Chains A and B, each alone.
Chain A
């Protein structure tokens, strides 16, 4: 556990597992790029999360304004990102598009990457034998299929049924809480990140399994076993903290990829349905050169937002890697 600390030559700040985190955090903060990335991600996630409660701008995401002087307007003071062909404020739509990205990346990562991936990887690596065989073979089968195509299949076949089913009880929920989950597009989110996570756990599980196999032979695990610690205790208190740093790096990189998947799904018409904004739909609706010539703001702002977010995640992943594993620098 003390691998990282002993090599840094930095003053010890205290014993126990906290120091690893404290040190990593300090290294991260000293890295200017990492700081910038965290700021970008933080601002975007904050804005996206805000929309669940209220619109962060004076406009609603579907406030149309069909007047000649208000459609397709370039950036101005009242509309910093301009307006689209229906006179809707583009900044508002980009922010609501971020909401989709936030929900899908967080939920997809939590269920697929962390819960399924880390859980199954720990089990496969630690218990070995038939559990390992079953989990890893199933994972290989999943990997053998082109993931996006399967996600398409599931979204196309399962989603309508889930939606029908949700329609059945959403009325009651709406009367109780005043929230119309169908209108919010929650069903779309659930099916899509469900489908995404069903296929995104394999990589994580492999990584975790390899790490577990590596630390399993360590003396501290042997010691814990000798003292009669339960499997659960060994896994959660001894194995997991020692393999977590590569997991964090992969999660950070994976967030970017998940955000990208949502865009591709929207492009295929099986993602978020309008009028709920989605960055993917915005990009592909205006994704052509003529638009770039005539109304560049329609395409530039959504694309720049997505690009910035995905770049930030990737650079942050690198920075995290440096922070957790200074030797590899």
Chain B
């Protein structure tokens, strides 16, 4: 679920921080830069794990800051493919269910990866697993806020950094709209296996 990754970066330290402990300031700067951001192809950055090494402090002409090369390890949320996670249902729509872990919200379980057969109840805007026992079918409803266990099947990284438009004359409103929709890191989940789905479905009552 979580990993620790080694990163390299150059940190600039402003003069008013010179009187503080160097490692503390470097740690704070790194957290300010990275915490709660998506690092492309890596995952959601949580917090600094430790600093491995710091290079020499470099001064540049006409710049009061000094710059220092740092090698450090960072705690990152990056579940493996096939890993099992537990979250809470955030919303449901015809396309599927979105799940939140509290610190990470962009998890989608598409309608094709729900338990089979499932149906969408338009009136209540919820999904239900049509569970068959003998001749009867029961609707097992998946309400918002319930705990759900799912398997990670895919991860999608999308670069949301502003890009240069290929033709500068293109309408600005259009590109702005596109940017809104982009999610830098999406996890696709599946609950189409025994044991997956709402936690309450699989509690043994023996």
A and B physically associate: no
Query: Which residues of A are at the interface with B, using a C-beta cutoff of 8 A?
Result: none
